[in-house]
């Protein structure tokens, strides 16, 4: 009788997999047939392109279809013939009938037309491709006098970014759509600067409108860790994972960036900005976190090395940067719709124009600044990781500053390099003049309306409108007719003409100002604020920076500013100083800000210490070290509490206006211990 020497007690891994996954068996012929079908489908569809690339191919296909309709040929057969004459005629037709002035535009279109040709299952013949390329670079460029120049790509350095943020917080008089924009827009600029990411990785991309692909709370990890430099203190750190980087959307492991608190310059601290947004959204899962003081009171106990502050489950897929939408009571922040790129881009351009920059301020200006900074301190592979580039030559072709960053003159002469001069000349703010006009005057706008060509188009539109009313009763009822189509196209032409005239008039005005006013100087360059809160904001946010601004005259009265909300968004998001000097926001400051935004009269029964008395008391005592149960006791922590408390309260000002009970704050100052307690409650 024989016995088995080895009996497996458990099935092997292969056996378990085989039991779990039961599939239909295929014969060798069936595998070959499946491969043939899959290959045929791949030859038609080709490589799987990104959504933005597919959109560009579709636009080229629309133009190709219009061209074939004009030529009276079948679009598919005309394309699949792959005859160089067909492509040459198409390029000629595009340049003749469309406003294309740059060689690079038609060159890029030829690249996408070649991708469109792949739908026939073939590639463009190499000889045909070479002939068309030479035709574009040669005869077409000469006949249409195509512009070969490349637009200047400005680079925003850290000094430029500080100047931009300073104008946003302290000098900007433009109203904002919603108070949240005043915080999330500068936070977006900081995120772009610290991650060098494209805006489509943080907010909804302009190429993917309606996708709602954006940075969500689930992509951000907020932790409390002991400070390695000061073990008795704790700091907040953020791990931000970008899921929607170009070419890597949901395809690979995301790139994670680490942000930490900054005490030297609160305007550059992304943690305080984000903390205000999270508190305003009530995103923390822990019940004990309802204010900034609750967050700063948290300590990490041994043997743990960190403490993860988790989000509420329903907040994980909520975008951090959200858009304002129309509601019955006015503008409100959407609960789940991401901020679109167009909105952020318009804000950046307006901010750059009003701040007096010569060139357009765009998100890529900040990205290029980060790229050039990282290039000086990182290896090529590290720079590619930060920038999200697949090849090193992408930076050299599209991101490197056109201005040489080295003092070649001193190097040739054998003298010490004067790098400071080179850096100043290379700044985005080199030609900045905040005195430059920000918009056209009423007389200039009226002159645009009297433009002969524009008046002729408007007369034609009015005549067409009367004709439609006589024939159909109204423009709405004529929808789908040739007259309605002509009326709509004429309206688009009028709007485009107005925009062109407005842009040309504005550029001419700025050019004329730069010629006439550049040599004029003011006797006084001190900024004068209408609100003392904004002056305090200037001191607190930018203590570590030297900001030089020309004299700014403000003509708004308190009543006008309160009615139009001009200037309140900057003062409302004030922050305390991170230095040891006594420039802390007082109870009076916060109550005045709340009263301004909530339309509530200043409470007369509240005893408010004056700024001088608070400063005197504060200067008599040495701040104690941070303690876990008594709240923030150092100037830095008091500043952070005041900062994020004001940010959070002002973000919720719309809620406060309708639902909040009396919100008040107390500043308790006793000998040896300081408390900054924030008490506010919402229904």
Beta strand 307-309 with 322-327: parallel, antiparallel or unpaired?
unpaired
Is residue 581 located within the same domain as residue 618? Answer: yes
Decide if 164 is inside a domain.
Answer: no
Decide if 23 is inside a domain.
Answer: no
Is residue 495 located within the same domain as residue 572? Answer: no
What pLDDT sits at residue 10?
46
Is residue 661 located within the same domain as residue 547? Answer: yes
Q: What is the pLDDT of residues 84-96, one digit of tens each?
A: 899 999 999 999 8
What pLDDT sits at residue 318?
94
- pLDDT of residue 211 exceeding 90, the answer is no
Decide if 351 is inside a domain.
Answer: no
What pLDDT sits at residue 346?
92
pLDDT top residue among 468 and 48: 468
Decide if 99 is inside a domain.
Answer: yes
What pLDDT sits at residue 30?
83
What are the tokens at 25? 């068996």
Decide if 77 is inside a domain.
Answer: yes
Q: What is the mean pLDDT of residues 248-262?
A: 82
What pLDDT sits at residue 596?
46
Q: What is the pLDDT of residues 127-146, one digit of tens each?
A: 988 899 899 988 889 888 88
Q: What is the pLDDT of residues 386-413, one digit of tens each?
A: 888 888 888 888 888 888 888 899 998 9
Is residue 226 located within the same domain as residue 100? Answer: no
- pLDDT of residue 662 exceeding 60, the answer is no
Q: In what order do the strands lie in the sheet with 307-309?
A: 255-260, 234-242, 220-226, 307-309
Decide if 48 is inside a domain.
Answer: yes
**Residue 545 CB burial class (10 angstroms; 0-12, 13-18, ≥19):** middle
Give the Cβ contact number of residue 620 at 10 Å: 9
- pLDDT of residue 594 exceeding 80, the answer is no
- pLDDT of residue 257 exceeding 50, the answer is yes
What total of structural domains would you count in the chain?
4
What are the tokens at 332? 């409100």
> pLDDT class for 315, splitting at 50, 70, 90?
very high
**Domain end: 286, 314, 338, which one?**
338
- Domain containing residue 51: CATH number: 1.10.150
| Range scoring the smallest mean pLDDT among 4-13, 226-235, 360-369, 525-534 | 4-13
- pLDDT of residue 549 exceeding 70, the answer is no
Put residue 62 in one of left, alpha, beta given phi > 0 → left and psi -120 to 50 → alpha: alpha
Q: Is 669 helix (H, G, I), strand (E, B) or coil?
A: strand
pLDDT top residue among 638 and 532: 532
Is residue 536 located within the same domain as residue 673? Answer: yes
| Range scoring the smallest mean pLDDT among 89-93, 423-427, 480-484, 602-606 | 602-606
- pLDDT of residue 174 exceeding 60, the answer is yes
- pLDDT of residue 600 exceeding 70, the answer is no
261: nearest Cα among 245, 274, 248, 252: 274
End-to-end CA separation in angstroms for the chain: 83
- pLDDT of residue 362 exceeding 50, the answer is yes
What pLDDT sits at residue 319?
94
What are the tokens at 649? 């309260």
- pLDDT of residue 681 exceeding 80, the answer is no
Scanning the structure block, which residue is given the tokens 């946010």? Answer: 541
What pLDDT sits at residue 233?
83
> pLDDT class for 384, splitting at 50, 70, 90?
confident
**Domain end: 273, 305, 338, which one?**
338
Is residue 139 located within the same domain as residue 195? Answer: no
What pLDDT sits at residue 564?
33
Is residue 670 located within the same domain as residue 564? Answer: yes
Is residue 91 located within the same domain as residue 228? Answer: no
**HSE on the CB side for 611, CA within 13 Å?**
11
Decide if 33 is inside a domain.
Answer: no
Cα–Cα distances in angstroms (integers) from residue 531 to residues 166, 544, 553, in the given order: 16, 22, 13
Q: What percent of the chain has pLDDT over 90?
A: 25
pLDDT top residue among 369 and 575: 369
What pLDDT sits at residue 46?
62
Is residue 182 located within the same domain as residue 330? Answer: yes
Q: What percent of the chain has pLDDT over 70?
A: 71
What pLDDT sits at residue 595?
46
664 contacts 603 by C-beta, under 8 angstroms? yes
- pLDDT of residue 637 exceeding 60, the answer is no
- pLDDT of residue 316 exceeding 90, the answer is yes
Phi, psi of 372 (to 5 degrees): -70, -30
Q: What is the mean pLDDT of residues 63-80?
A: 91
**Domain end: 143, 158, 181, which one?**
143
> pLDDT class for 640, splitting at 50, 70, 90?
low
Is residue 136 located within the same domain as residue 193? Answer: no
Q: What is the pLDDT of residues 601-635, one digit of tens each?
A: 444 443 433 333 333 333 333 333 323 333 444 44
Mean pLDDT, the chain, rounded, equals 75
What are the beta bridge partners of residue 331? 326
Residues with Cβ within 8 Å of 383's Cβ and at least 6 positions away in sequence, in order, are 371, 374, 375, 389, 392, 395
Cα–Cα distances in angstroms (integers) from residue 648 to residues 276, 412, 601, in the given order: 5, 55, 20
- pLDDT of residue 188 exceeding 90, the answer is yes
Is residue 589 located within the same domain as residue 556? Answer: yes
Give the Cβ contact number of residue 428 at 10 Å: 24
Which domain range does residue 121 map to? 43-143
What pLDDT sits at residue 60?
92
What pLDDT sits at residue 606?
38
Phi, psi of 335 (to 5 degrees): -75, -20
> pLDDT class for 45, splitting at 50, 70, 90?
low
Is residue 592 located within the same domain as residue 500? Answer: no
Decide if 249 is inside a domain.
Answer: yes
Cα–Cα distances in angstroms (integers) from residue 202 to residues 199, 483, 651, in the given order: 5, 43, 20
- pLDDT of residue 7 exceeding 70, the answer is no
């Amino acid at each position: 009788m024989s016995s088995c020497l080895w009996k497996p007690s458990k099935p092997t891994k292969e056996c378990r997999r085989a039991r779990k996954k039961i599939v239909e068996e295929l014969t060798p012929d069936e595998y070959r047939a499946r491969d043939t079908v899959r290959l045929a489908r791949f030859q038609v569809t080709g490589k799987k392109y990104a959504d933005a690339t597919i959109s560009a191919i579709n636009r080229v296909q629309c133009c190709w279809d219009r061209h074939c309709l004009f030529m009276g040929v079948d679009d598919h057969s005309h394309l699949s013939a792959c005859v160089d004459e067909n492509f040459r005629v198409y390029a000629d037709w595009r340049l003749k009938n469309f406003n294309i002035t740059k060689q690079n535009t038609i060159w890029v279109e030829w690249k996408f037309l070649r991708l469109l040709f792949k739908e026939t299952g073939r590639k463009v013949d190499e000889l045909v491709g070479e002939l068309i390329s030479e035709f574009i670079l040669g005869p077409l460029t000469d006949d249409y006098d195509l512009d070969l120049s490349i637009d200047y790509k400005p680079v925003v350095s850290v000094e430029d970014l500080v100047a931009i943020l300073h104008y946003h917080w302290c000098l900007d008089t433009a109203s904002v759509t919603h108070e949240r924009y005043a915080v999330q827009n500068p936070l977006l600029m900081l995120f772009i600067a610290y991650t060098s990411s494209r805006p489509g990785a943080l907010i909804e991309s302009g190429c993917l409108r309606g996708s709602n692909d954006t940075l969500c709370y689930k992509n951000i990890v907020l932790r409390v860790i002991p400070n390695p430099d000061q073990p008795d203190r704790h700091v907040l750190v953020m791990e931000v994972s970008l899921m929607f980087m170009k070419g890597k959307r949901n395809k690979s492991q995301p790139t994670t960036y680490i942000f930490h608190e900054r005490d030297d310059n609160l305007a550059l601290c992304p943690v305080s900005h984000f903390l205000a947004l999270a508190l305003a959204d009530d995103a923390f899962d822990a019940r004990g976190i309802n204010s900034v003081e609750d967050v700063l009171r948290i300590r990490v106990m041994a043997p743990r090395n960190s403490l993860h502050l988790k989000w509420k489950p329903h907040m994980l897929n909520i975008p951090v940067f959200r858009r304002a939408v129309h509601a019955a009571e006015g503008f409100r922040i959407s609960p789940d719709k991401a901020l679109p790129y167009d909105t952020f881009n318009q804000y950046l351009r307006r901010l750059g124009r009003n701040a007096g920059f010569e060139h357009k301020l765009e998100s890529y200006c900040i990205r290029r600044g980060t790229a050039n900074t990282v290039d000086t301190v990182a290896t090529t592979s590290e720079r590619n990781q930060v920038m999200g580039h697949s090849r090193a030559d992408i930076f050299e072709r599209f991101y490197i500053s056109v201005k040489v960053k080295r003092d070649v003159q001193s190097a040739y002469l054998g003298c010490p390099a004067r790098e400071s001069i080179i850096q100043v000349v290379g700044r985005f703010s080199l030609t900045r003049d905040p005195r430059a006009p920000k918009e056209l005057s009423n007389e200039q706008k009226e002159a645009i309306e009297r433009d002969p060509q524009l008046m002729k188009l408007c007369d034609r539109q009015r005549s067409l409108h009367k004709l439609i009313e006589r024939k159909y009763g109204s423009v709405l009822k004529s929808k789908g007719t040739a007259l309605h189509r002509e009326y709509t196209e004429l309206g688009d032409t009028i709007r485009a003409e107005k925009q062109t005239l407005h842009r040309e008039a504005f550029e001419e005005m700025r050019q004329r100002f730069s010629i006439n006013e550049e040599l004029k100087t003011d006797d006084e360059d001190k900024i004068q604020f209408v609100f003392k809160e904004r002056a305090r904001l200037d001191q607190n946010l930018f203590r570590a920076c030297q900001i030089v601004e020309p004299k700014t005259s403000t003509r708004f009265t308190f009543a006008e500013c309160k009615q139009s909300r001009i200037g309140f968004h900057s003062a409302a998001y004030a922050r305390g100083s991170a230095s040891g000097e006594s420039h802390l926001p007082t109870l009076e400051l916060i109550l005045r800000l709340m009263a301004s935004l909530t339309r509530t009269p200043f409470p007369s029964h509240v005893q408010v210490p004056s700024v001088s008395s608070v400063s005197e008391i504060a200067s008599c005592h040495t701040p104690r070290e941070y303690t876990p149960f008594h709240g923030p006791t150092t100037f830095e922590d008091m500043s952070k509490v005041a900062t994020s408390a004001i940010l959070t309260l002002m973000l919720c000002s719309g809620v406060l206006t309708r639902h909040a009970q009396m919100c008040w704050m107390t500043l308790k100052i006793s000998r040896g211990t300081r408390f900054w307690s924030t008490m506010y409650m919402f229904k």
